[in-house]
Structure 1
């Protein structure tokens, strides 16, 4: 199975000394899955919406199961000049466009954004997370909420504060990977990968 992950630096795994991030850790040990990590630092949902299709199509194959996972929001909510880079309405519009178009190509899954060390950004992310959850439900796209568990756990935020204020280390990414990989939606989403030997 081929799994394509689109998102920002948190998908890319910035700050992880092992360079796996949560996506690499969530599929660790599953040799039948070919992972394409397409996370790009500083990108908003608008940036991802512009590029995802052109980057997905060359990585897709007719003879293998395909999956696309999206995760974004931190840069949308990050302030520039006192205001978030993107308003929630624009973030949701971008999300709907990406999820709807990608679902035509193959099964799609959305992982909500993790919390940030900055309380103001985290508050905006919490609201966006809830709206993304409702949007995914309307579109019948599986959604994995990691915001509240990571906020309650505290390790993600502590590691982010210890480094650059935004990105955790190996421990935080492992906690997020554990949340994602244990979720029934992820297990069913990636199950086809266990049936492929190519």
Structure 2
């Protein structure tokens, strides 16, 4: 199977000393899956929407099962010049376009955004997470909500604050990987069940 992961620095695994992030950790030991980690630091949903098709096209194959997973939102919620970098309406429009178009190519999934160390960003993210969850349900796209469990996770928060306020270390990414990997939708998506 080929799995293409699109997103921001959380997908890229910024801050992980092992350079695995959550996506590398959740697939650890799954030699039958070729991972294309296309997370880009500071990318918003608009940036991902502009690049994902071309990047996916170069990796698509009819020789083996394909999967596309999206995870974004934190950079959209960061303020720039006093306003979020991408409005919630803009993020939802981008998400709808990406999820709809990608689902026409192969099975697609969305992993919701994790909380941030900055309380303002986190509050906007919590609201966005709920809207993304509703959108995914309407589109019949599996959605894994990691926001609340990680918000309550002391290790996630401690590692964020110890480094740059946004990205955890190896332990935090492992917690996120554990949440994703245990979810029935992930198990079905990656053909574990």
Question: Structure 1: how far apart are the matches of 2:156 and 2:80?
Answer: 23
Give the number of aligned pairs: 193
- Consecutive unaligned residues of structure 1, counting only runs of 5 or more, are none
Q: Counterparts of 1:165-176 in structure 2 under 5 Å?
A: 165-176=165-176
RMSD, aligned α-carbons: 0.9
Deviations 1:23-79 (A, max 9, x none): 000100010000000000000000000000100011111110000000000000001
Match of 1:17 in 2: 17
Shift of 1:153: 1.2
Question: Structure 1: how far apart are the matches of 2:113 and 2:78?
Answer: 12
Query: SS at the partner of 1:164?
Result: coil
Question: Structure 1: how far apart are the matches of 2:53 and 2:181?
Answer: 25
Question: Structure 2: how far apart are the matches of 1:11 and 1:99?
Answer: 17
Match of 2:115 in 1: 115
Match of 1:187 in 2: 187
Note if 1:137 corresponds to 2:153: no
Note if 1:4 corresponds to 2:4: yes
Note if 1:27 corresponds to 2:23: no
Shift of 1:154: 2.2
- Consecutive unaligned residues of structure 2, counting only runs of 5 or more, are none
Note if 1:44 corresponds to 2:44: yes
More helix by proportion, 1 or 2? 1
Shift of 1:165: 0.8
Shift of 1:82: 2.0
Q: Counterparts of 1:79-94 in structure 2 under 5 Å?
A: 79-94=79-94
TM-score, length basis structure 2: 0.98
TM-score, length basis structure 1: 0.96
Deviates more, 1:100-109 or 1:80-89: 80-89
Question: Structure 2: how far apart are the matches of 1:154 and 1:189?
Answer: 29
**Greater relative contact order structure (CA < 8 Å, 6+ sep):** 1
Question: Structure 2: how far apart are the matches of 1:155 and 1:78?
Answer: 23
Match of 1:63 in 2: 63
Question: Structure 2: how far apart are the matches of 1:50 and 1:98?
Answer: 10
